[in-house]
Amino acid sequence: MKKLLIGTGVVVAVLLLVGFIFRGQLAMWVGGQLIKPGHTFAQQAPAAAPDYTQDVFWAALPGREDDADYVLAGATPDRQQQAAVDVFFIHPTTYFSNDAWNQPLPHPETDTITRENVLRSQASAFNHCCRIYAPFYRQATLYAFFDDSGSGDQALELAYADVRAAFNHYLQHFNQGRPFILASHSQGSRHGDLLVRDMIAGRPLQQQLVAAYLVGYSLDGNNGLEICTGPSATGCQLLWNTVPADTPELFSNTETACVNPLNWQPDDTYAGFDANLGAAGFGADTLEPGVADARCVDGLLQVSAVQSDNFSSQFLDGGNYHIYDYGFYYSNIRANASQRVDAFLQTAAP
């Protein structure tokens, strides 16, 4: 029963989040009322801030066993212990409660979703190239994205303050001057975009940045980093939001940036199914090649068809593939992260 409730909550939550990201107004309003906190942000003190000196506040650390270590059958091996590069990974929204504007820490049900659904299907894509650091943070509850009272904005700012504190702790205690990748999804990419703007772009830290994978959020790329223009470019950012090719026009947003994760080009060049090295569904044990194609159109990453029965979840008018932003292109992301790391290390070599 618990698994059923968690699964139902995830589906409803993703429906709502996708509705926000792509402006499906009716779905946003109807579903949003189900998870609206019954108080303002100011009326309830947030839970205590995480202490990032304690391992319990990290969803993934390279020196211990966790779900970011997961390797699907057919994938390249986990090489975190030998890696010369780190990944700082910011997880998407996994807190769907109306009990508070921000997730308390720890929160066993939410933390389980973060570990089993996100670390295994997203963050693990980087365990071949890099050591993975992924903080828990007092993420904003899903309704924060629909709120227009100001409470949602305050909740998101609190969440970002935690992410920034975790990143500062990572830099001061773990990084030791190593190159790093910044990777994120959905709400996490909202925070990652701000990290780039506030701490990385145009600062000495940019010299350590291999690339920023800021996936699954409507971003225009104007945070100070260039958009990546090829599979080996470094010091740049990669952005995309995945939708079916017949997505209604209302979802289009020509102000957002899009890089195709099958050919790594920021234009409308089509990449076919044969370019897809392997997709990873939720709970999958093996990779499936050729599941999805890709083309950037009007700021969105369009998929003409899904050649598998294991990726059937679609939302809103015409469907939506937000939950598969990483999953459809898992092996391509895995291979590309290693390619960019190699290019960065070769350039940095004396």
Query: Alpha helix locations (H) across 135-274?
Result: 151-170, 187-195
Q: How far is CA 310 from CA 189, 287, 303, 327, in A?
A: 26, 11, 15, 11
Q: What are the pLDDT digits (tens) for 90-112?
A: 999 999 999 999 999 999 999 99
317: pLDDT confidence band, cut at 50, 70 and 90? very low
pLDDT at 22: 47
Q: How far is CA 342 from CA 179, 201, 339, 348, in A?
A: 11, 21, 5, 10
Q: Residue range 305-321: average pLDDT?
A: 73
Q: Which residue has the higher pLDDT, 322 or 342?
A: 342
Euclidean distance between CA atoms 56 and 6, whole angstroms: 22
25: pLDDT confidence band, cut at 50, 70 and 90? very low
Sheet with strand 130-135: strands edge to edge: 58-60, 130-135, 85-90, 180-185, 209-215, 236-238
pLDDT higher than threshold 70 for residue 142: yes
pLDDT higher than threshold 90 for residue 193: yes
Q: Residue range 254-269: average pLDDT?
A: 94
Show me where the domains of the chain are located.
Answer: 2-348
247: pLDDT confidence band, cut at 50, 70 and 90? confident
Euclidean distance between CA atoms 323 and 320, whole angstroms: 8
In 3D space, the residue among 44, 17, 30, 33 whose CA is nearest the CA of residue 99 turns out to be: 44
Proportion of the chain above pLDDT 70, given as a percent = 86
Give yes or no for a contact between 197 and 327, defined as CB atoms under 8 angstroms apart. no
User: 212 forms bridges with which residues in the sheet?
Assistant: 182, 237
pLDDT mean across residues, the chain:
90
Give yes or no for a contact between 245 and 210, defined as CB atoms under 8 angstroms apart. no
Q: What are the pLDDT digits (tens) for 41-69?
A: 999 999 999 999 999 999 999 999 999 99
Q: What are the pLDDT digits (tens) for 145-171?
A: 989 999 999 999 999 999 999 999 999
Q: Which two tokens stand for residue 154?
A: 């305050």
Tally the residues of the chain: 350
